[in-house]
Amino acid sequence: MTILEVTDIARHFRVSGGVVRAVDGVSFQLARGETLALVGESGCGKSTTARLALRLIEPSAGSLRFDGVDMTQAGTKAMRAMRRRAQIVFQDPYASLNPRHTIAETLEEPLLVHGIGDAASRRARVEELLSLVGLAPFHAARFPHEFSGGQRQRIGIARALSAGPDVVVCDEPVSALDVSIQAQVVNLLKDLQSRFGLAYLFIAHDLAVVRHMADRVAVMYLGRIVEQADKRSLFANPRHPYTRALLAAIPRPDPAGRGRLSPPPGDPPSPINPPPGCPFHPRCGFAVARCAVDVPPLREIAPGHVAACHLAEALPALPPSMDDRPSPVAMRRIALAAARMAARV
């Protein structure tokens, strides 16, 4: 069942020298309990899309429905009701917590804003939230500077959960964290999702993390979705050359695959002056004359799989992917360490 529906949403920013079409006609639906990942490189408009989906910034065009209600024109009261049910976790756990507030104050604030509970029940809720994200009750009286990056991100997640949301936008929630901490936070987000039936709009640039978190994936380039599909078909059978370029550029942790990265040439073009036709055509290895003229529409290639490429059906089969698993010895030792750790706890 759809909880969040974004239709043809756009956001243009006027800058000296023209108009930046940061988001240019993006549509998607998010169902209860699922994770939709928005992926793409810096400047593709994924964070702006996330903010539009929460109406933290106003759209230039398009519409936004939350739980069946049109929020595009909603007044303050309706917006406030939506905000209780749609929250956000930010990328930078250092910048997104108020350094002068204790953790208890930070976690209590959403409850105060929405008039939930009395002082005693709010205190109990703060304790509950801390234990949900793996922190201890005594942490409530501390300040953000007393925590590591991973712990701060846990606090940011607890704050997002405070008022009991249905939808959580996660804007690069693990990209500022070290790998070992990243894995802890990814596991935590998955646990919380299955426990509370949360829907995640998961913004990320790391496709391996996305593969681990998402049910469906939308790939953005220059303000538009260029491909969207369920995770399995997107990774196994990508139909847009840009998706393929992203996949081919990830360095795999296996020295045997060395030298097989094949990045597209050049940088993403300026969103002030996007190229005519398909915005990816100047960097695309498959482009034909038509690509420089006609803008390819987003069209259905297979059920539930859309791509904006004239040649989507004609792209050659994907070369066999590099095997991305730890070596057999490493796998055995990883399993052994996990079993030992589990036995100890």
Interface with other proteins by CB under 8 A: which range of 93-101, 110-118, 285-293, 327-335?
327-335
The Cα 155–Cα 137 span in angstroms is: 12
Which one of 25-33, 52-60, 78-86, 254-262 is the stretch in contact with other proteins (CB under 8 A)? 254-262
Is the Cβ of residue 141 or residue 336 nearer to other proteins in the bound state?
336
Residue 131 lies near other proteins (rule: CB under 8 A): no
Establish if 261 lies at the interface with other proteins (CB under 8 A). yes
| Element (DSSP H or E) covering residue 12 | strand 2-15
Q: What is the 3-state secondary structure (H, E, C) of 202-232?
A: EEECCHHHHHHHCCEEEEEECCEEEEEEEHH
Exposed, middle or buried: residue 44 (CB in 10 Å: 0-12, 13-18, 19+)?
Answer: buried
For other proteins, the closer of residues 8 and 324 by Cβ is 324
Q: How far is the CB of 335 from other proteins (least distance, A)?
A: 8
How far is Cα of residue 306 from the mean position of the Cα atoms in its chain?
19
212 forms part of the interface with other proteins (CB under 8 A): yes
CA distance 258 to 263: 13
Residue among 18, 137, 253, 285 that touches other proteins (CB under 8 A):
253
How many chain residues interact with other proteins (CB under 8 A)? 62
Residue 146 binding other proteins, by CB under 8 A: no
CA distances, 126 to each of 110, 129, 132, 253 (Å):
11, 5, 10, 40
Q: Does 204 bind other proteins (CB under 8 A)?
A: no
- Per CB under 8 A, does 293 bind other proteins? no
Bridge partner list, 218: 38, 228
Query: In the numeric block, which tokens belong to residue 25?
Result: 């006609």
Binding status of residue 79 toward other proteins by CB under 8 A: no
Give the closest residue to 85 by CA, choosing from 62, 117, 61, 53: 53
| Residues 167-196 as x/- pattern, contact with other proteins by CB under 8 A | -----------xxxxxxx-xx--x------
Among residues 162 and 182, whose Cβ is nearest to other proteins?
182
Is 18 in a helix, a strand, or coil? strand
Q: Which residues bind other proteins (CB under 8 A)?
A: 41-42, 148-151, 178-184, 186-187, 190, 205-209, 211-212, 235, 245-259, 261-265, 267, 321, 323-327, 329-330, 332-334, 336-338, 340-341, 344
